Amino acid sequence: MARRYAVLLPVLLLLSAPSLTSVVAEPDGDLPEQLHLALSGDASQMIITWVTATHADGGVEWGRAASDLNQSAEGSNHTYDADDWSGVIHDAPMSDLAAGTEYHYRVGDDEAGWSAVHSFRTSPSDASRVRIGVIADMDETDAARDVVAAMSSADLDLVLFSGDVSYAYDSTRFWDEVDGEEWDDWGRLYERVSAEVPTMFAVGNHENEEQDGCEGCGFKAYLSRVNMPNSSSESDSEFWYSFNFSLFHIISLSSEHDYTTGSAQRTWLAADLATADADREAHPWLVVMFHRPMYSSSESGHGSELDLREALESLLVEHRVDLVLTGHDHDYERTYPVNATKPTQTDTNAFVDAEAPIHLVVGTGGRILYGGSSSEPTWSASFTSTTHGYGVLELLDRESLQFTFYDDEHGDVLDVFTLSRNGSVEPEHTAVPTTGSSMLSNLFDHPLIAGLLLTLVLAAAVLLIRVRATTASAAAEAADDEPDDLLLVD
């Protein structure tokens, strides 16, 4: 019997190890948690979302000083039945906000309790400098915690999150592919950013929970937890929408839904791009985000989404989109301005009146990195596959932008470039080469690999104990067989 357990123990540990990454389960009290700010279609409004275990009431109080929260609004609430999840999701608007102003707020009520007081800044109405975080592919890992910690101290005004958020659907969980509690774990982790900085999302493939472990779920959890402003941009789908922030017009698309010619998404995109192109005086910078990249040279990842490129690239070029933000491949890559695989300029990192969009893959939010090499096409300007990190898109002034990719652990600048309309603008930072030293530690952030490594260690320990026990037993038997007259006595 002991031998049988020694064989089964590593297997049981392998099956259970991924679940060890989730320490806290569903909301266990009615204090507000998982606070998340989001923009609405109204520049004078901010939406706050939070979660409680069972309490259905509550609202938001806000003001210009933490000691004087003199405005309030009641919240609405809802829940959903996917992933075997239970809890209450609340939404409440903060309205009549002045541009370029810091506000303080809290959510909850006297009955169940209030959150801590947090603060945020509204979008400026002029060309004041703003900093926009750029990220994708996060999960709930030690690396994600490092990225979130770095982002929380980066003085950001907005975050653009290009999909694959919580990994509640994870194919490495081969006994149950969907774990709704992962949404709560991730919400607690990311609250460090989202309670102070509005985050706007594009949907990724891991938000589609229509898998064997959760039939009928689809995108229900994502749509229930994320409140994006599609109606204000005349979109009939919550999966694609647009909004204005500072001098940017930002479009969020879904690479997980039909985008081909004649589809509802492409038809809406063409109309929104035409409107945005005509509004360049008010919002001169045009940014598009979605999950799967049109351009990726990763040899160990998914690579370029060729159907998406064929369907949408001509629209992006025609309407002079400046930047395209994506994830999906768990690495960082930046293209030169590129159209139909042909870079329009390759001799600088300070681009003036670029003739095509620059594409960015920032799939470095915390999920295990792919760690492979680039195929080094002519359109690829920078590639890093061994470092988690995040991007910051900055409005320097009305005529120029800067993008910087930071390593999460040390804050090193790993890539930087500028875009400008009139005259070259030198980047404020100097990029440093990556060492790839973090690749081994990244393995431990993947639940299946962590489980395998733990199993191997424990199996080796069990084997060592058995070998030592067998050796000791054999030595004892040998000693018993020795003639007494051969024993040496001091």
Cα 27-121-416 angle, rounded to 5 deg: 100
pLDDT range class, residue 178, cuts 50, 70, 90 = confident
The tens digit of pLDDT for each residue in 369-416 reads 999 999 999 999 999 999 999 999 999 999 999 999 999 988 999 999
- At 183 the pLDDT is 96
Does the pLDDT value for residue 461 go beyond 70?
no
Architecture of domain 126-443: 4-Layer Sandwich (3.60)
Minimum mean pLDDT among 79-88, 100-109, 116-125, 297-306: which range?
A: 79-88
Does the pLDDT value for residue 453 go beyond 70?
no
Does the pLDDT value for residue 253 go beyond 60?
yes
Say what percent of the chain tops pLDDT 70: 81
- At 477 the pLDDT is 55
DSSP string, 161-207: E-S--S-SB-TT-TT-SB-THHHHHHHHHHHHHHTTS-EEE---GGG
- At 84 the pLDDT is 83
Does the pLDDT value for residue 4 go beyond 90?
no
The tens digit of pLDDT for each residue in 265-296 reads 999 999 999 999 999 999 999 999 999 999 99
- Is 350:424 a contact under the CB 8 Å cutoff? yes
The tens digit of pLDDT for each residue in 201-223 reads 999 999 999 866 676 789 999 99
Does the pLDDT value for residue 129 go beyond 70?
yes
- Quote the longest CA-to-CA distance of the chain: 107
Average pLDDT, the chain: 87
- At 470 the pLDDT is 59
- At 3 the pLDDT is 32
Does the pLDDT value for residue 438 go beyond 50?
no
Look up the pTM and report it.
Answer: 0.86
The tens digit of pLDDT for each residue in 148-171 reads 999 999 999 999 999 999 999 987
